[in-house]
Structure 1
Amino acid sequence: MDLAADGAVESALPNPQEAAELRAALKHLRAQPRGWVFSCKFALCVLLTAVGVGVVLQPEWWCRVTGVVLIGCMFAHAAELQHETLHNLAYRSRRANAVAGIVLGLPMLISFAAYKAAHLRHHRDLGTSMNREFFDYGDQYGVEERSKFGTFVDWTVRFTMVHHYVLFVANLGRSLIVSDFGGESARVSRRIRRDHCLAFAMLLTLSVLSWSLESGVIVWVWLLPLALVAGPVHALIEVPEHYGCETLNRDPFANTRTIRSNRILTWFTNSNNFHVEHHLMPNLPLERLPDLHSEVRDRIRYFNRGYLEYFGKLLQRRSR
Structure 2
Amino acid sequence: MSSDAITASPEGLYRRAKVTAADERVFIAKLVAAYGIWGIGVALALLVEACPVRLLGVVLIGAMYCHWLELQHQCLHHSAFRRARLHRLAGVPLGVPLLVSYSHYRARHLQHHRYLGTVQDSEFFGFDSRQPITWSALIREALAFGRLLGAIADIVRCWAGTWSYDIGQISPDREREAASEYRMFAVPIVGAVMLAALGHGDLVLWVWLLPLLVAVPLHFLVELPEHIMCDNASTDVLNNTRSITGSWFSTWYTNGNNLHIEHHAAMVVPINQLRDRHDITLAFAAHTSPSYPKFFRAIAREASANARVNRSRK
- Shared fold by TM > 0.5? yes
**1:189-221 CA-partner distances (Å, limit 9, x unpaired):** 211111112222112223323433434210110
Question: C-alpha displacement at 1:24, in angstroms?
Answer: 6.7
CA shift for structure 1 position 163: 4.0
Measure, in 2, the Cα distance between the counterparts of 1:90 and 1:195. 20
**Match of 2:214, SS?**
helix
Match of 1:123 among 88, 92, 113: 113
Residue in structure 2 matched with residue 286 of structure 1 by the alignment = 271
Corresponding position: 1:84 with 2:70: no
The answer for the alignment partner of 1:15 in structure 2 is: none
Give 1:87's aligned amino acid. Answer: H
Instruction: After TM superposition, give the deviation of residue 157 of structure 1 in Å.
Output: 3.0
For residues 74-108 of structure 1, give each alpha carbon's deviation from its aligned partner in whole angstroms, at most 9, with x where no partner exists: 00000000000000011112211001110111111
Moved more, 167-176 or 245-254: 167-176
Q: Structure 2 CA distance, aligned partners of 1:318 and 1:127?
A: 23
Structure 1 residue runs of 5 or longer lacking an equivalent are 1-20
CA distance in 2, matches of 1:277, 1:238: 15
Do residues 255 (structure 1) and 240 (structure 2) align?
A: yes
**Quick one: percent identity of the two aligned structures?**
31
Of 88-97 and 111-120, deviating more is 88-97
1:316–1:25: structure 2 CA closer, same or farther, 3 Å change rule? closer
Who is 2:126 aligned against? 136
Mark the CA change 1:261 to 1:25 in structure 2 (over 3 Å): closer, same or farther: closer
* d(CA) in 2 for partners of 1:186, 1:59: 50
Q: Which residue of 1 aligns with 2:40?
A: 51
1:38 aligns with 2:38: no
1:177 aligns with 2:163: no
Distance 1:229 1:215 in 2: 19
* Stretch of structure 1 that moved more, 71-80 or 209-218: 209-218
Q: CA deviation at 1:172?
A: 1.0
Letter in 1 for 2:131: V
Look up the match of 2:5.
none
Q: State the 1:235 CA deviation.
A: 0.5
Give the aligned partner of residue 241 of structure 1: 226
Distance 1:24 1:154, change over 3 A: closer
Distance 1:284 1:194 in 2: 28
| Counterpart Cα distance in 2 of 1:236 and 1:25 | 25
Aligned residues: 291
- What's the TM-score once normalised by structure 2's chain length? 0.87
CA contact (8 A) 1:157 1:163 kept: no
Alpha carbons of 1:163 and 1:91: their partners in 2 closer, same or farther (altered >3 Å)? same
Any conservation in 2 of the 1:143–1:244 contact (CA below 8 Å)?
A: no
2:282 maps to what in 1?
A: 297
Contact 1:136 1:163 (8 Å CA) reproduced? no
Answer with 177-186 or 68-77: which moved more. Answer: 177-186
| Contact 1:56 1:67 (8 Å CA) reproduced | yes
Please name the residue that 2:301 is paired with: 316
Which amino acid is 1:186 matched to? P
**Pick from 168, 174, 184: which aligns with 2:151?**
168
Whether the 8 Å CA contact 1:85–1:98 is kept in 2: the answer is yes
Q: Is the 8 A contact 2:42 2:57 kept in 1?
A: yes
Q: Which runs of 4+ in 1 moved over 6 A?
A: none
Q: Distance in 1 between matches of 2:297 and 2:65?
A: 25
CA distance in 2, matches of 1:292, 1:313: 25
Pair 232,26 (structure 1): closer, same or farther in 2 beyond 3 Å: closer
**Equivalent pair of 1:127/1:249 in contact (CA under 8 Å):** yes
- Indicate how the Cα distance of structure 1 residues 287 and 187 shifts in structure 2: closer, same or farther if over 3 A, else same: same
Aligned 1:86-235 pairs, distance under 5 A = 86-137=76-127, 140-144=128-132, 151-179=134-162, 180-182=164-166, 183=168, 184-226=170-212, 228-235=213-220
SS in 2 for 1:93: coil
CA offset digits 1:133-171 (Å, max 9, x no partner): 10012xx11434x8xxxx444223311223421320221
> Residues 244-297 of structure 1, C-alpha deviation per residue, up to 9 Å, x if partnerless?
111110110100000111101100000110001101111211001110112332
